[in-house]
């Protein structure tokens, strides 16, 4: 087995995953060089930004706007990139085992690998079941739908979206928007086991969103749990729903393979970290984003937390290298959520307040483009 050793005289900081927080670290790779450290980022592919992804599905954006190749980004700023996947961890020797068979030594390690959809037996039929994670699936789903629109323009595509949270509602709305853009017909049904949409948000916002989707011709099946795939669709609460495609936008969890690292996880498989974002079992290992569980908090799996954790993570990596005090991450009590509903409109939510319209979409577009612009410019 090949072992990739650290450069003599330099510490090696290894980042597993090109998530929101690690892109920020890559953008500041030179600050780690000044701490006499090397930066290595391990990831198998491109970073796809969830903020623009539903807009890509709905035809508002092209795919190149939504993705960043982390290799030129990290290498241009003084770091190294390994296009591979981490599959194991040896804390005794401080090495990461890669899918290629190689091992990579580390002095400090950080894990920012996002989340995956909680799936069940529905996922067994990959030919007509799509999950919204990885985010790149939404671009592939758009290509698949556009292909169907071209090949059978007069045949409506029947689509069931499972999940009545923010993502499921955005997916249903943007599939409808894509069909309208191409002047084609779809029959979209949104199924959720909850009694209402956006169950964790104010009721008034959920009602307004439900009215919007119904006016667009999207069928809502509330308090309805999907039981199984049928030959011609899905069965939920004993009722059959015809579907050519099923899109899973159900709950999120940390990737299951994270258990192979042998670190303490919570009951949902998330890496347990303390207020300084360090693993509760090893001060040399950090975590950020959707894959962690911050002790004492129940944070939703939203990209904004990974973005906010990034400066704290960077500071703490530098501080541990230099023997300085670490900072703690204090999550904000509320955050702005903006749902892209396609057709030029969005729903914004801030605590108990919500507003819907073109201005909301304009604001979301400005925020998301600004976030990505710095990485596109650096790469």
**pLDDT attached to residue 122:** 61
Helix (H) or strand (E) holding 266, with range, is none
**pLDDT attached to residue 260:** 94
- CATH number 3.50.50.60 given to 117-251: yes
CA distance 353 to 322: 44
CA atoms within 13 A on the CB side of 351: 3
Would you put residue 75 in left (φ > 0), alpha (ψ -120 to 50) or beta? Answer: alpha
CA distance 222 to 120: 20
**pLDDT attached to residue 229:** 84
Share of the chain above pLDDT 90, in %: 88
Residue 288: closest CA among 96, 325, 302: 302
Mean pLDDT for 329-337 is 92
Would you put residue 79 in left (φ > 0), alpha (ψ -120 to 50) or beta? Answer: beta
**pLDDT attached to residue 2:** 43
Among all chains, which residue has been given the structure tokens 């670490």? Answer: 326
Output the average pLDDT for the chain.
93
CA distance 72 to 128: 35
Phi, psi angle pair for 109, to nearest 5°: -135, 140
Global pTM exceeds 0.75: yes
At 338-376, the pLDDT tens digits run 999 999 999 999 999 999 999 999 999 999 999 999 999
**pLDDT attached to residue 125:** 54
**pLDDT attached to residue 333:** 86
Look at strands 245-248 and 129-131 and give their pairing.
parallel
Mean pLDDT for 282-311 is 94
Look at strands 103-105 and 3-4 and give their pairing.
parallel
Instruction: State yes or no: pLDDT of 321 exceeds 60.
Output: yes
Residue 61: closest CA among 71, 50, 72: 50
Among all chains, which residue has been given the structure tokens 């069931």? Answer: 160
- CATH number 3.50.50.60 given to 3-44+84-115+254-332: yes
At 32-45, the pLDDT tens digits run 999 999 999 999 99
Identify whether the C-beta of residue 54 lies closer than 8 Å to the C-beta of residue 177. Answer: no
Mean pLDDT for 291-305 is 91
CA distance 350 to 143: 33
CA distance 192 to 182: 28
Domain boundaries, the chain: 3-44+84-115+254-332, 117-251
At 56-86, the pLDDT tens digits run 999 999 999 999 999 999 999 889 999 999 9
CA distance 255 to 213: 31
Mean pLDDT for 226-230 is 87
**pLDDT attached to residue 164:** 96
Give the Cβ contact number of residue 154 at 10 Å: 6
Mean pLDDT for 201-212 is 97
pLDDT band for position 6 (cuts 50, 70, 90): low
Q: Tell me, what DSSP letter sits at residue 21?
A: H
Phi, psi angle pair for 186, to nearest 5°: -130, 155
């Amino acid at each position: 087995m090949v072992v990739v050793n650290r450069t003599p005289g330099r510490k090696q900081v290894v980042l597993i995953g090109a998530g929101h927080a690690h892109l920020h670290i890559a953008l500041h790779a030179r600050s780690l060089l000044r701490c006499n450290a090397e930066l290595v980022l391990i990831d198998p592919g491109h970073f796809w930004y969830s903020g623009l992804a539903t807009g890509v599905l709905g035809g508002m954006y092209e795919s190149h706007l939504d993705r960043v190749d982390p290799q030129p980004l990290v290498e241009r700023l003084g770091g190294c990139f390994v296009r591979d996947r981490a599959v194991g961890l040896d804390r005794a020797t401080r090495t990461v085992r890669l899918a290629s068979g190689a091992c990579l030594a580390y002095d400090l390690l950080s894990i920012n690998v996002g989340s995956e959809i909680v799936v069940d037996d529905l996922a067994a039929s990959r030919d007509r079941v799509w999950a919204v994670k990885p985010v790149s699936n939404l671009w592939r789903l758009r290509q698949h739908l556009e292909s169907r629109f071209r090949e059978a323009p007069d045949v409506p595509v029947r689509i069931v979206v499972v999940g009545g949270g923010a993502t499921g509602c955005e997916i249903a709305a943007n599939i409808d928007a894509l069909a309208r853009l191409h002047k084609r017909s779809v029959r979209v049904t949104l199924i959720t086991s909850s009694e209402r949409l956006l169950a964790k948000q104010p009721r008034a916002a959920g009602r307004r969103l439900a009215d919007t989707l119904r006016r667009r011709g999207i069928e809502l099946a509330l308090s309805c749990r999907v039981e199984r795939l049928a030959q011609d669709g899905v069965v939920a609460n004993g009722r059959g729903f015809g579907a050519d495609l099923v899109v899973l936008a159900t709950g999120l969890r940390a990737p299951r393979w994270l258990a192979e690292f042998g670190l303490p996880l919570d009951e949902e498989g998330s890496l347990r970290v303390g207020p300084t974002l360090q693993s509760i079992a090893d001060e040399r290992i950090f975590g950020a984003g959707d894959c962690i569980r911050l002790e004492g908090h129940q944070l939703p799996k939203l990209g904004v937390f990974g973005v906010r954790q990034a400066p704290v993570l960077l500071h703490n990596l530098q501080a541990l290298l230099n023997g300085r005090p670490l900072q703690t991450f204090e999550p904000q009590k509320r955050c702005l959520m903006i749902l892209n509903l396609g057709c030029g409109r969005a729903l914004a939510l801030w605590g108990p307040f919500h507003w819907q319209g073109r201005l909301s979409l304009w604001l979301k577009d400005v925020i998301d483009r600004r976030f990505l612009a710095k990485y596109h410019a650096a790469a």
